[in-house]
Amino acid sequence: MLGRTASSLFWMSRYHERAQNVTRLLEVGFRGAIISHSGQEDGTHWTFALSCSGSEKGFAQRYDELNLRNVAAFMIFSKENSDSVRHCLELARNNARAVRTSITAELWEAVNTTWIEFNEVNPQTITQERLPDFLAWVNQRSHLFRGALLNTVLRDDGYFFSQMGNFVERADNTARILNTQYWTLLPDSDIIDDGSVERYQWSAILRALAGRRSYRFAYPNARLKAFNIAEFLILRTEMPRSLAHCYDWIADTAEDLAQFYGSREPSLDLAAEISRQLSETQMREIYQQGLHEFLTEFVGKNNQFAQQLSEDYNFA
């Protein structure tokens, strides 16, 4: 396989995952804006979506007012925002197109049709009433992409690189969202009232990571607690967006890759090491080290892994 092909498969998956993550942040912002029972001003809910996706600065440079129309324009449709849904879907599709010969027809059609249909949407028509359906549609298309990948692609190196891209992006997204909101997840935040800011933030974090429901199953008393939420999203492997879960996949995929090529590269050892650390660490220890420090270090290691992978396999 060409190094460039490996790279395109990796980034195709990364961008599709990113599109979905941005969409979910917008869903959380939207929900906050319409129920607004935390007594805050409207804009705050959008700040959560903007800061978690790292696009606060870019937004502030272009818009004065924090409202649905502006946030949607910037985070969904903007050609200037490199993290907009539009940009992610376009890059996912361009990467898929560059390796059209290495992916299945089903996968290509999922990526291509998503981009075509997205591109046909007139941003003016996505009003407050239509936004939830539209975001749900993007989400479903992203699931279709994953489904096509899992169900139709041959389990060879191309599949492994696609999986790597997906989970590196997901781990990055989870770690960044937690890190942006880390102060609400410190243990002493647990002594709070039901209607507090923290409570709203916890709920927002769980929704942004599609874990609001599953949290209740994972923690039988179902009470939202900072400690549990942090543990759930960092260390619990059964949570599909937790850091531990992502690195379970990455480490397994690394083993598959080593077996497929018959040789171990430094990136594979790095993946195994990160995965092992996550499985051996207790939440208490993370708090002792400092949650913010831990998350910052994780984002760095995750990047380092992606970088090493691209060097080991000659990504162009």
Partner 1 sequence: MADERTFFNEMLEETGEPRQAYARLAQWLEDKPANFLTKKSRDAEMIFRRLGITFAVYGAQEATERLIPFDPIPRIISASEWRRLSAGIDQRVRALNAFLHDIYHRQEILRAGRIPADLILQNEAFLPEMAGFTPARKVYAHIIGTDLVRVSENEFYVLEDNTRTPSGVSYMMENRETMMRLFPELFQSHRVAPVEQYPENLRQTLESVAPDPAKSNQTIVVLTPGIYNSAYFEHAFLADSMGVELVEGRDLFVDSGKVFMRTTRAPKQVDVIYRRIDDAFLDPLTFNADSMLGVPGLFDAYRAGSVTICNAPGTGIADDKAIYAYVPDIIEFYTGQKPILNNVPTWNCSRPDDLAYVLDNLEDIVVKEVHGSGGYGMLIGPTTSRREIAEFRRVLQNNPSNYIAQPTLALSACPTHVASGVAPRHVDLRPYVLIGDQVRITPGGLTRVALKKGSLVVNSSQGGGTKDTWVLED
Quickly list DSSP for 101-129.
GGS-HHHHHHHHHHHHHHHT--GGG--TT
Rounded least distance, CB 78 to partner 1, Å: 18
Rounded least distance, CB 113 to partner 1, Å: 6
Q: Which is nearer to partner 1, 3 or 290 (CB)?
A: 3
Coil, helix or strand for 235? Answer: coil
Rounded least distance, CB 315 to partner 1, Å: 8
Q: Which is nearer to partner 1, 160 or 200 (CB)?
A: 160
Q: Which is nearer to partner 1, 232 or 313 (CB)?
A: 313
Distance CA 299, CA 169 (A): 10
Q: Which is nearer to partner 1, 93 or 245 (CB)?
A: 93
Give the DSSP letter of residue 183: G
- Give Cβ neighbours of residue 303 (< 8 Å, ≥ 6 apart): 172
Rounded least distance, CB 286 to partner 1, Å: 35
Instruction: Report the first-to-last Cα separation within the chain, whole angstroms.
Output: 12
Quickly list DSSP for 124-154.
GG--TTTHHHHHHHHHHHHHHHHHHHHHHS-
Dihedral pair phi/psi, residue 205, rounded to 5°: -60, -45
Distance CA 173, CA 107 (A): 23
Do 198 and 189 form a contact (C-beta atoms < 8 A)?
yes
Coil, helix or strand for 296? Answer: helix
Q: Which is nearer to partner 1, 157 or 172 (CB)?
A: 157
Considering only CA atoms, which of 29, 35, 91 is closest in space to residue 55?
29
Buried b (16+ CB within 10 A) or exposed e, 67-82: ebeebbbbbbbbeebe
Distance CA 79, CA 74 (A): 8
Give the DSSP letter of residue 121: -
Q: Which is nearer to partner 1, 116 or 150 (CB)?
A: 116
Rounded least distance, CB 133 to partner 1, Å: 22
Q: Which is nearer to partner 1, 30 or 160 (CB)?
A: 160
Rounded least distance, CB 111 to partner 1, Å: 9
Rounded least distance, CB 48 to partner 1, Å: 35
- Interface ranges with partner 1 (CB under 8 A): 1-6, 94, 97-98, 100-101, 105, 108-109, 112-113, 116, 157, 161, 261, 313-314, 316
Rounded least distance, CB 314 to partner 1, Å: 5
Distance CA 159, CA 10 (A): 9
